[in-house]
Amino acid sequence: VQLVESGGGLVQAGGSLRLSCVASGSIYVINAMGWYRQAPGKQRELVALNTIGDNTNYGDSVKGRFTISRDNGKNTVFLQMNSLKPEDTAVYYCYYRQLGSAYWGQGTQVTVSS
C-alpha cells in the first residue's frame, strides 16, 4: 500500500489548509485512515482518525477546528484545517491500516506563521 499526501504549505495564523491522502496498491478493506503529526522535538500525535464503522477520533488540540472526511470510492482521506495556529506547525502524516498492518505516508509540512 502506498500513501501520497498533498496540500501542505505555509499559511498565516487563522488561515485554512486542506490536506489530501490517496491510498493505492493492495487495498482490501480500510480499517482506519487518518492523520497524525509530529512537530520538531515532539512525539507523533493523533490529529484525526476515521475507523471502520465511520467512527472518528480527533486530538484534543484540533477539536472544533479540523475535520476529517473520506472518499471511499477513491481511497482518499482529507483533512480540512481551519483557524490554524502556530502550534499546528508540524509534519503531517497520512495513516492507513488494514488487516492488522499499518502504513504511513512520507509526510507533508504544514507551517503556520504568527
d(CA 23, CA 50): 14
The predicted-structure confidence for 21-79, as pLDDT tens digits, reads as follows 999 999 888 889 999 999 999 999 999 999 988 899 999 999 999 999 999 888 999 99
pLDDT digits (tens, 9 = 90+) for 82-96: 999 999 999 999 999
Three cell numbers, residue 6: 498533498
**CA dist., res. 33 & res. 30, Å (int):** 7
pLDDT number for residue 86:
97
pLDDT of residue 29: 84
Phi-psi region at 74: left, alpha or beta (left = phi > 0; alpha = psi -120 to 50): alpha
DSSP annotation of 52 reads T
Say what the pLDDT of residue 82 is. 98
**Cβ–Cβ under 8 Å, residues 104 and 94:** yes
Encoded amino acid at 9, one letter? G
